[in-house]
Amino acid sequence: MKTNNTTQTAEETRLTAMKTFYATLTSEIDLPYFADASHESFEDLREAIQDGNGFDIEIIYYSRAMEYLTANDTSLRTSLELAQDMGYEPKSLSSEILASILASENSRSEFEELETEITEFFDKLNEERDAAEETV
């Protein structure tokens, strides 16, 4: 029984470390929400965010959508290209859809820029876990 308590404590410690680290990162994504003690890599975290629709950003209201597009894609080239890649027909597009598609893509890109930092964190966290397991 003591092993279960120790394992639980180690998992809780790991989860707390993840949430604390994720909270220090600048991201539109609520990274601490996706923390899971079973994650061992950047890829695990990315998959959890993808599965939980964490990259999806919905921009509603014409004025907000136009503001976002003006600030991030004045020519609309990128957002129209993304919409086409997703199979949208031009007649079904609106500023809200284009802004949401672009914001979601920007969210993914922003997250990918954190790969090195997150990978280094997981490497350290996994080394600490492995060292603690060797001493038991």
pLDDT for residue 80 is more than 50: yes
More confident residue, 135 or 33: 33
More confident residue, 109 or 134: 109
* Predicted TM-score of the model (pTM): 0.80
More confident residue, 6 or 69: 69
Q: What is the average pLDDT score of the chain? A: 90
More confident residue, 82 or 11: 82
Buried/exposed code over 4-34 (b: 16+ C-beta within 10 A; e: otherwise): eeeeeebeeebbebbeebbeeeeeebebeeb
Mean pLDDT score, 21-50: 93
Q: By CB neighbour count within 10 A (0-12 exposed, 13-18 middle, 19+ buried), where does 45 fall?
A: buried
Mean pLDDT score, 58-81: 96
Q: Is 108 helix (H, G, I), strand (E, B) or coil?
A: helix
Place of tokens 């809780």: 12
Per-residue model confidence (pLDDT) at position 7: 52
CA 130 – CA 126 distance, rounded (Å): 6
Mean pLDDT score, 31-48: 93
Per-residue model confidence (pLDDT) at position 85: 96
Mean pLDDT score, 83-92: 95
